[in-house]
Structure 1
């Protein structure tokens, strides 16, 4: 199990170029774009949502990953949560493998109970442009995500846009993460802390 620590910032569309330019200038790199397809699962009764967890399959250029996360804590754009992630053979969940890895009894029990009734609820399809930053000896992965949340509800296709910056601490001091976020916000007007995860957006889209 790992603890994911990241700062999420909503990015105004008219500041996309400014944010990209800041990362290019800061790192000396044009950034690495990666297309990501993400499928989120739950039961019709939303068992996982009620247990404050989320389950997804992600297709990357290197293959498929399955990820199980807790909602954790989110305040002022700072997200801290448990995360279990591992490769899988294809577009299919491997629940037994996740259960072996999950060391949080409450959410593990929810996943075990939900497993027979899991269905696809929604997708998030987006392009993630990545930069690697060093700050005071800490390593931070910076990303700009652009795309959509997509849900099929009663024959209707619903969409909501994704446009955000994520700063994830890969190693080092959390203070460095906040320092980079402050520096970015000082140079890119309109950035705002975002406490809502992509999974939460998907659930909300289905409820409309």
Structure 2
């Protein structure tokens, strides 16, 4: 088993070329051979579950990926969000065809609800994710990471959703290096932190619901409340763009206001200034509100800076 720790960034499709050009230039200008572009891959992925979403409800994703005429079976756990990061258990096996080998799941510590394997008789492909992946291997200041740019779509009998994102996966070193590099990206093009995985996009097409973090108990610390409102902010932001509904800018702004109350003064002031930018957009834009919100660089920069502070304060990560 490997533990996957990654930072996912939303990027609108019109900025994917700019993201690719920035990463190519970064590798070109690198003073060492530790920044290189890899071969682009076309990835075809089938996700399996029961009609009742038994695996999803247990926090498990089961996938077969086809790449370069080879097949890889993968199990991922839902894991936990490290204040905007994804931290998940991951098991992978090479298999000879696109048929599931369920005996391999003996290596996975499945939750008790799945232990009897009765659900395995009712598996079917519930959705697909098919996308092109550009890949860069980058090492900077002792942090080695794989940076990928994914463009494609999620499809199911219930509809489809686009895939347009960057992922920074930690290979070695300190996770704070992911944030530092992501900030370099965010200062070049508009990106925003996302906690919605491709598997969650597929499940969402069927269920039509948005998943919110668990609300802290009464009497929770200011830090716990800050982490909660930060996640709520990310959820509403992603939902606004997924649902193409600019009315959701109101709960976005409300969660920002609640978050600001839990932050140090400097970060709170930055968040207040961002809200002023949104207010100006609301007063000056009309038909292109969503585009104006999504193209503002300051959103992603502040999302990343607040996540840095939350991780440093919560987990003691060096910055």
Q: CA RMSD in A?
A: 1.8
1:87 maps to: 94
Do the aligned partners of 2:37 and 2:137 also contact (CA within 8 Å) in 1?
no
The structure whose residues are more often helix, as a share, is 2
Does 2:55 match 1:54?
Answer: no
1:124 maps to: 129
Does 2:69 match 1:68?
Answer: no
State the alpha-carbon separation in 2 of the partners of residues 108 and 3 from structure 1. Answer: 22
Instruction: Considering Cα pairs closer than 8 Å and 6+ residues apart, tell me whether 1 or 2 has the greater RCO.
Output: 1
What number of residue pairs does the alignment pair up?
201
The structure whose residues are more often strand, as a share, is 1
Q: 5+ unaligned residues in a row in structure 1: which ranges?
A: none
1:73-117 alpha-carbon deviations (Å, 9 max, x no partner): 125541101111111111011111122x21x34178358342111
- TM-score of the superposed pair, with normalisation by structure 1: 0.90
| Equivalent runs, 1:1-208 vs 2, <5 Å | 1-28=1-28, 31-61=38-68, 63-74=70-81, 76-99=83-106, 101-102=107-108, 104-106=109-111, 109=114, 112-153=117-158, 158-188=159-189, 190-208=190-208
Q: 5+ unaligned residues in a row in structure 2: which ranges?
A: 29-35, 209-319
- TM-score of the superposed pair, with normalisation by structure 2: 0.60
| Ranges of 4+ aligned residues in structure 1 off by more than 2 Å | 28-32, 74-77, 107-114
Do the aligned partners of 1:67 and 1:84 also contact (CA within 8 Å) in 2?
yes
Tell me by how many angstroms 1:204 deviates.
Answer: 0.8
State the alpha-carbon separation in 2 of the partners of residues 161 and 94 from structure 1. Answer: 29
2:227 maps to: none
Q: Which has the greater radius of gyration?
A: 2
